[in-house]
Chains A and B, each alone.
Chain A
């Protein structure tokens, strides 16, 4: 009897705990938003998310209370009787933070993220409300015009309703800010004047470097280090099959079981068996790749461009006579021997996605729209991005800003504040923008190579060989359920396929593909296929 009573009490407690996972709200969220810019009669609190990256211990000011947040309050908030309150979102755990805030009915008025699947998930979970785009256009005409400029206005709709607005991303089609540096001195020693354009020649070059004893494992190699690994765009058949592209051509889940991935991994297997890849690659982290490059133990190193690249500075400090080059996309080049081309994954011209919280009142939503409009106004955006003249930037002879210091600015020139309007800082001219990210304080000048790489990619894109992934205007539940599992499985299978004997590769690929599909990939493919057929997916251009 006693144990029964206990069981009932405990079960009741647990059930109460579960049902307590939500709060009711008494806010009125259904009012119509009026479009006139006028000072609010009663103070409206606008909650804006800002990433907290833990930079406070590294000299970056408190993200919710600093000179910039005060500046926004003075310039925007006080003028319209809006209290702008920034909500810190832990960058390494965005989903948990939003889940907690949503459960507490305390979401920021603006919900923003770079990843589209997260936004569709939040819409499906009821965090984000739909809105009338004409109202938004009336309140934020500049922001709307900026969205229109990208040509992607259809991205605002999910399940037929307008849920999202978005910032823009200059040169979104290109990946020129991601660069691969290589040992030019070794390439010259191997008898080439620059890094070869075709994959066959590249492999020959690596073999010569190894034969000359310059490097034991020129290609180095690392374990799977994050989303977007092992992209197979260079191994696909063009023009692409739309269904195959939509169901397996994405960024987040590696496409094991496809023919393109097979070609990609077969090349890796060949390189491994030629001794070009470190036999212990599956134990190496990204930081090992940097150290190997700096210490002359690998041929190349890839990273995002910025005016300061620690790895390059270290390289020149350790190898004063070393010569580094930057791999340049030569335009559209193919190599039939490997079914390979310089095709790549293009991005969209849009940056962060922005939605408005379902728990926000009409006034709060209006204030959010006004904030976006204020933010994207050129003079406000310029100040946010470049800081204070004389302290953070100076003007060159042509009147263009040149960054001199980030003192007093937030992470990456305040990007976590202005990401709602633009994803990257741009002066509207590729040469000036390339100049801004060209590495400084090193012996080599990569300006011309970065620009050439951009132009090469542009040519590939314009010829139609750089495609954007398919975007689904509905939540793909199987992605959320299986992505993490598949990511782990892929790492395991990829390592097996890379290290097996060449004659065993085909059979092993078929066997592991079957397992991968059973591990959940087939369900992802099926759900994406259905979404595409239901008209909830973008089309291949």
Chain B
């Protein structure tokens, strides 16, 4: 009897269009909220810590007296970054590389995924298998280096773009989306109307695939923006280094200064911690500003990959 009453009350809540979880606050919800808050803080607190360091005085930072609130506030570090303009240049350069990389990556991905998603392509299982091989096997650093050297790609902006524009993982996600979301019947009717394969792709398939296009573009862009290992091995010119690699160098040189061997250290100097923190902020803030608007596409992409990949 009591059970029935509960069910009736629940139905009444639903019929009023209210969310039961919000109306009835339970201890489990509280625990969940605390857990999520703590989880969020593990991401937010380090960021606030770096932000506080970037505008504090050097002596307070060296003494590790700055946690979340800046002390002896100064913007000198940001001033030096802007005056020096090296990081500003690298930031602009990184945006250009990321943009070209994303456009070409999407082109390759679409051109690969669409044909492989169509049943009418003969041998598509074989082709898919071959295209998946690079996901599991890599030639290694030295053979890659020699290959790029032969193609005159070393110390060239294109070495940051061409080798990575084909991504088996992204191709797989996009192929799955095309297979599940674009019915063959739609294409058949387009064929009957006299459309070619390219026309179908451009005028029917792509306009219907905006969510996956946004998601994969984001995967490409974020992937390129965050990686720096190829910068380290294949780029030697200062002008061709992306901003993330410059940041890595800055941090690595500071660590090296702390553990330098005697042979090397006539007088070891390192980038002041405040300047490092300011550089991190300078590079991160633009992404932080853009990210909330793009986050939903990340979630969508993960869902597609999880359910249909």
**Bound together:** yes
Report the number of A-B residue pairs with Cβ-Cβ less than 8 Å: 169
**Central interface residue in B64, B80, B246, by most chain A CB within 10 Å:** B64
B33 at the A/B interface (Cβ < 8 Å)? no
B143 CB contact (under 8 Å) in A21, A251, A307 = A21
Residue contact A17 to B140, C-beta cutoff 8 Å: yes
Residues of chain A within 8 A of B58, CB atoms compared: 310, 313-314
B62 CB contact (under 8 Å) in A17, A92, A228, A311 = A311
* Contact A53 to B259, CB < 8 A, known contacts A90-B232, A96-B233, A103-B145: no
Please encode chain B, from 81 to 100, with 1 for each CB lying within 8 Å of some chain A CB and 0 for all others.
00010110010000000000
> With the chains together, A285 CA to B255 CA distance in Å?
10
Please encode chain B, from 135 to 149, with 1 for each CB lying within 8 Å of some chain A CB and 0 for all others.
001011111011101
Please encode chain A, from 10 to 51, with 1 for each CB lying within 8 Å of some chain B CB and 0 for all others.
100110011011110000000000000000000000000000
Q: Which of the candidate stretches A58-66, A323-331, A517-525 sits at the interface with the other chain?
A: A58-66
Residue contact B146 to A20, C-beta cutoff 8 Å: yes
Residues of chain B within 8 A of A400, CB atoms compared: none
Q: Which of the candidate stretches B182-190, B197-205, B266-274, B298-306 sits at the interface with the other chain?
A: B266-274
Q: Which of the candidate stretches A157-165, A290-298, A478-486, A527-535 sits at the interface with the other chain?
A: A290-298
A295 CB contact (under 8 Å) in B64, B154, B273, B275 = B64
Task: Give B11 Cβ to nearest chain A Cβ, in Å.
Answer: 57
Residue contact B142 to A314, C-beta cutoff 8 Å: no
Residue contact B267 to A412, C-beta cutoff 8 Å: yes
Residue contact B247 to A291, C-beta cutoff 8 Å: no
Q: Which single residue of chain A is at the shortest CB-CB distance from B241?
A: A56
B149 CB contact (under 8 Å) in A57, A104, A227, A318 = A104
B133 at the A/B interface (Cβ < 8 Å)? yes
Residue contact A53 to B249, C-beta cutoff 8 Å: yes
Task: Give B228 Cβ to nearest chain A Cβ, in Å.
Answer: 11
Residue contact B143 to A310, C-beta cutoff 8 Å: no
Residue contact A291 to B64, C-beta cutoff 8 Å: yes
Residue contact B258 to A287, C-beta cutoff 8 Å: yes
Residue contact B259 to A286, C-beta cutoff 8 Å: yes
B264 at the A/B interface (Cβ < 8 Å)? yes
Residue contact B266 to A415, C-beta cutoff 8 Å: yes
Residue contact B259 to A317, C-beta cutoff 8 Å: no
B253 CB contact (under 8 Å) in A91, A285, A437 = A91
Residues of chain A within 8 A of B268, CB atoms compared: 304, 306, 412
Q: Which single residue of chain B is at the shortest CB-CB distance from A313?
A: B59
Residue contact A10 to B137, C-beta cutoff 8 Å: yes
Q: Which of A256-313 contact B (CB under 8 A)?
A: 285-288, 290-291, 294-295, 304-308, 310-311, 313
Residues of chain A within 8 A of B87, CB atoms compared: 57
> With the chains together, A54 CA to B154 CA distance in Å?
19
For chain B, which range describes its interface: under 10, 10 to 19, 20 to 34, or 35 or more residues? 35 or more
Q: Which of A394-417 contact B (CB under 8 A)?
A: 411-412, 415
Residue contact B265 to A225, C-beta cutoff 8 Å: no
Residue contact A59 to B84, C-beta cutoff 8 Å: yes
Q: Which of B186-234 contact A (CB under 8 A)?
A: 232-233
B262 CB contact (under 8 Å) in A57, A92, A106, A175 = A175
Residue contact B232 to A93, C-beta cutoff 8 Å: yes
Residues of chain B within 8 A of A290, CB atoms compared: 62
B260 at the A/B interface (Cβ < 8 Å)? yes
Residue contact B141 to A100, C-beta cutoff 8 Å: yes
Q: Which single residue of chain B is at the shortest CB-CB distance from A292?
A: B64
B252 at the A/B interface (Cβ < 8 Å)? yes
Residue contact B146 to A92, C-beta cutoff 8 Å: no
Q: Which single residue of chain B is at the shortest CB-CB distance from A102?
A: B142
Residues of chain B within 8 A of A537, CB atoms compared: none
B261 at the A/B interface (Cβ < 8 Å)? yes
A504 at the A/B interface (Cβ < 8 Å)? no
> With the chains together, A457 CA to B262 CA distance in Å?
16
Task: Give B136 Cβ to nearest chain A Cβ, in Å.
Answer: 10
B13 at the A/B interface (Cβ < 8 Å)? no
Q: Which single residue of chain B is at the shortest CB-CB distance from A345?
A: B262
Residue contact A54 to B143, C-beta cutoff 8 Å: no
Q: Which single residue of chain B is at the shortest CB-CB distance from A352?
A: B263
Residues of chain A within 8 A of B238, CB atoms compared: 56, 62-65
Residue contact B142 to A21, C-beta cutoff 8 Å: yes
> With the chains together, A96 CA to B133 CA distance in Å?
27
B36 at the A/B interface (Cβ < 8 Å)? no
> With the chains together, A276 CA to B58 CA distance in Å?
29
A57 CB contact (under 8 Å) in B137, B154, B261, B279 = B279
> With the chains together, A17 CA to B138 CA distance in Å?
9
Q: Which of A171-211 contact B (CB under 8 A)?
A: 175, 177-178
A58 CB contact (under 8 Å) in B62, B65, B258, B275 = B275
Residue contact A99 to B266, C-beta cutoff 8 Å: no
B250 at the A/B interface (Cβ < 8 Å)? yes
Residue contact A226 to B260, C-beta cutoff 8 Å: yes
Task: Give B50 Cβ to nearest chain A Cβ, in Å.
Answer: 15
Task: Give B234 Cβ to nearest chain A Cβ, in Å.
Answer: 9
Residue contact A423 to B266, C-beta cutoff 8 Å: yes
Ordered nearest first, which 6 A-B pairs have the shortest CB separation?
Answer: A54-B249, A226-B259, A306-B267, A291-B64, A314-B59, A62-B238
Query: Which residue numbers of A lie inside 8 Å of B, CB to CB?
Result: 10, 13-14, 17-18, 20-23, 52-59, 62-65, 87-88, 90-93, 96, 99-100, 103-104, 106, 114-115, 175, 177-178, 225-228, 251, 285-288, 290-291, 294-295, 304-308, 310-311, 313-314, 317-318, 347, 351, 411-412, 415, 423-425, 437
Query: Which residue numbers of B lie inside 8 Å of A, CB to CB?
Result: 58-60, 62-65, 80, 84, 86-87, 90, 133, 137, 139-143, 145-147, 149, 154, 232-233, 236-239, 241, 246-250, 252-253, 255-256, 258-269, 271-273, 275, 279
10 residue pairs bridging A and B, Cβ less than 8 Å apart: A20-B147, A54-B250, A62-B237, A100-B145, A104-B154, A115-B263, A295-B63, A314-B60, A351-B263, A412-B266
